[in-house]
Amino acid sequence: MSGITTGSPGDTAKGDAPRGSGTLRSLLGSPIAMTGVILVLLHVVMAVAAPWLAPYSPIATSPLDAIVNPSSSHWLGTDQLGRDVLSRVIYGGRNAMLISVVAAVLSVGIGTALGMAAAYFRGWFDEILMRILDAVLSVPAILALLVVVSVLGAGAPVIVLAATVVYCPAVIRVIRAGAQSVVGLDYVTAARARGENPWATMVREILPNVLDVVLVEFAMRASWIVLLVSSLSFLGFGANPPTPDWGLMVSESRSLLTVTPWAAVGPIIALATLIVGLNLAADGLAKARGIDRITGGA
């Protein structure tokens, strides 16, 4: 990894080490960040390989085996309809994770483009955009989502769009701040003086230098959207009943919490580990690239 030898260690000692490899190394070197990455990877593998991992079908009911406590045949027991809790937990992240990945890609993608543009163009474009964002940011995320979902229905596309609209403003703000510290630098000035296309300048000169912020934003938005989607399901605005979904499972099983706690605790643990994992990974990434974790928004 350190295959780079400069002819002048004395002179370059001040400069940064080559950053790409350095980031990866310090990410791998941090036990906390690695924990996060492993947790997230576990969840991804679980969601993708669910059909092979789950011992039972997640929707097959079996009234005779209903409300069974953990045993050798049902490791996490069964719920009130006799469905295997473990299988439902393994399947239950698919819905929320897919929605959150798509919504996070959209909100971070749009946010990055608009944030860089605001920093690059400044002036009235920046001013108007910021005032719009202020308006959007003043509405609580879950409230906005509830309104949208109750008007337009709880389909996945609706949730994705709503989450994108809700989270985009915070991303724009963060990327704009990051890009502003780059826009004034001489290599951007040089690109302006060459008369480069603004978007080409943004992609070539600015984006590589805010990419760290973008990645951290992505990890954090993804974790928030997972939580948001699960909350919606819990409130009854997300996935519809037979679908295995963590939020829905908690909602359905909470009345049985004293009888078969695992039916509710299982999905809670799954959700918590995913979110903790995403946050640890984001933190580790942020530290590895030497930027502060940006909190705020929802």
Residue 54 CA, distance from chain mean position: 25
**Backbone CA torsion sign across 245, 251, 253, 257:** positive
Identify which of residues 42 and 190 has a Cβ nearer to another protein in the complex: 190
Smallest gap from Cβ 60 to another protein, in A, equals 52
Identify which of residues 131 and 194 has a Cβ nearer to another protein in the complex: 194
Identify which of residues 150 and 197 has a Cβ nearer to another protein in the complex: 197
Smallest gap from Cβ 191 to another protein, in A, equals 8
Q: How far is CA 40 from CA 6, 135, 218, 265, in A?
A: 37, 33, 13, 19
Smallest gap from Cβ 105 to another protein, in A, equals 22
Identify which of residues 186 and 292 has a Cβ nearer to another protein in the complex: 186
CA distance 143 to 180: 31
Q: How far is CA 47 from CA 40, 53, 196, 208, in A?
A: 11, 9, 44, 31
Residues making contact with another protein (CB under 8 A): 4, 6-19, 185-187, 189-195, 204-205, 208-209, 211
Smallest gap from Cβ 11 to another protein, in A, equals 4
Smallest gap from Cβ 214 to another protein, in A, equals 13
Helices marked H in 49-84 — which ranges?
50-53
Identify which of residues 190 and 272 has a Cβ nearer to another protein in the complex: 190
Smallest gap from Cβ 26 to another protein, in A, equals 12
Identify which of residues 28 and 190 has a Cβ nearer to another protein in the complex: 190
Helices marked H in the chain — which ranges?
9-12, 19-29, 31-48, 50-53, 85-121, 123-137, 141-152, 156-183, 186-193, 198-201, 207-234, 246-253, 262-288
Three-state DSSP state, 78: strand
